[in-house]
Amino acid sequence: MEEIRNYTMNFGPQHPAAHGVLRLVLEMDGETIVRADPHIGLLHRGTEKLAESKPFNQSIGYMDRLDYVSMMCNEHAYVRAIENLMGIEAPVRAQYIRTMFDEITRILNHLMWVGSNALDLGAMAVFLYAFREREELMDVYEAVSGARMHATYYRPGGVYRDLPEQMPQYRESPWHKGGDLKRLNTWREGSMLDYLTEFTNDFPARVDEYELLLTNNRIWKQRTVGIGVVDPDKAQAWGMTGAMLRGSGIAWDLRKKQPYAAYEHMDFDIPVGVNGDCYDRYLVRVEEMRQSNRIIRQCVEWLKANPGPVMVQNYKVAPPSRVEMKNDMEALIHHFKLFTEGYGVPAGETYAAVEAPKGEFGCYLMSDGANKPFRVHLRAPGFAHLSSMDAFVRGHMLADVVAMIGTYDLVFGEVDR
């Protein structure tokens, strides 16, 4: 009698459900997974070494390009590490702006996640719904930084500039005319904070729409309930963070446990799961969007009532104003020195972490006193999560691998940094 052997197959790196350049070598017994071997490194761009070859202030833009769906959160960790070594602290208004944009970024990330994960598992409409709100928040990114994705908005000592007093308006075009144009510009008649007030009023109803399409949908539940169960002990053993950890019932969140920016002044809840499966992680992320909306609303109210500086008054890290440069030769010299040579950071080492949308994103930074880092090492949540792939897909069907990759919320810019 002929012996039946397992066979291996490649899942990716070109597969759309591989979420980037992941090559997963699967050993299969029929449709059942016997072993899963993730092959990474196909996107490797040497971000850490690039950051070590440039002045500190020239590497902020590299951080946006790591997890390119969680841009400002990546910047936040790097900027906080520099601030730790320099012993400086951003003004209070800048801390609230950072908190607000971290939560805007969390919603942007989770909208991308819920849309793409639903698409992976066969639900088409949710992707279009999620991108409707995502575009509204991308407009906020663009208005404050000039870029829709890679903002480079945070700076050591604060943020690039204060919030704009006017949101850009849609102009008449073949796609936007008459009443449609007026409706689109209704939110844009005031400042950015007015725009965000309108958004936060509207957004809970939009999340209800996503839940109407998915939460009690029997096909969605068949694809996610009981799939990829991660018990609390294993979640900790594998170094999981973010929704992967909270979905297993552990209420660990750096915004509560090790508060930074203005989070200690925010009123919000940490959603946790019960069963630790793909469905629980979906529910956790949906509730996180609602909680982020609460935080944004609180930040907007505070920022409306409390004007002030958004950057430290320190020529070493902050450029002087144009008025100062025209009247003060020393200020002009500081300007040129800052943008050509950068600034020396006192010798030492530090680790700064933020609760990024995908989990704990951290930056280990070592300085030898020069104007560029001696060592940069980034702690990417997706890397730790992907390492557990084999342990949690064994015994599942091939289709469940897609659900598991989706629930990890992988972006390979940070995994292959």
pLDDT of residue 310: 94
Q: How far is CA 343 from CA 208, 328, 367, 413, in A?
A: 48, 20, 12, 28
Mean pLDDT by runs of 10 across the 417 residues of the chain is 73 74 90 91 88 92 90 95 94 96 96 93 91 92 92 93 90 77 84 94 95 94 92 92 94 94 94 94 96 97 94 84 78 78 91 95 94 94 91 90 90 87
Contact 70, 356 (CB under 8 A): yes
pLDDT the model gives residue 335: 76
- The residues near 57 (Cβ < 8 Å, ≥ 6 apart) are 155, 156, 317, 338, 342, 343
Q: Where are the domains of the chain?
A: 54-87+90-311+346-415
Q: What pLDDT does residue 330 have?
A: 76
Which pLDDT score is estimated for 336? 79
User: How far apart are the C-alpha atoms of 149 and 70, rounded to whole Å?
Assistant: 9
The answer to whether 282 and 407 have CB atoms below 8 angstroms apart is yes
CATH topology assigned to domain 54-87+90-311+346-415:
Cytochrome-c3 Hydrogenase; chain B (1.10.645)
